[in-house]
């Protein structure tokens, strides 16, 4: 019973890495929304896309 309980809980909340990934996505969208609201969106998006290209070796 206890083992099945833990598996169902893991399926509901995802693994630890899933939660970290979701938190990073949430923070990322929050930052994008903040920049959009503060009017610095275009400038920051340029830097962000440049950073993404560097990150993925583009």
Domain residue extents for the chain: 2-55
pLDDT score at 6: 63
Per the CB < 8 A criterion, the answer to whether 50 and 44 are in contact is: no
Cα separations (Å) of 14 from 6, 19, 21, 38? 11, 7, 10, 34
Per-residue model confidence as pLDDT tens digits over 10-41:
666 678 888 899 999 999 888 878 877 776 66
Per the CB < 8 A criterion, the answer to whether 14 and 22 are in contact is: yes
Per the CB < 8 A criterion, the answer to whether 32 and 24 are in contact is: no
pLDDT score at 44: 66
pLDDT of residue 5 exceeding 60: yes
Cut 0.85: pTM above it: no
Task: Identify the CA nearest to 52 among candidates 36, 28, 34.
Answer: 28
């Amino acid at each position: 019973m206890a083992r099945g309980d833990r598996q169902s809980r893991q399926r509901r909340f995802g693994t630890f890495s899933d939660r970290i990934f979701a938190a990073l996505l949430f923070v990322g969208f929050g930052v994008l929304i903040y920049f959009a609201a503060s009017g610095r969106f275009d400038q920051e998006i340029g830097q962000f896309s440049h950073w993404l290209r560097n990150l993925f070796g583009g």
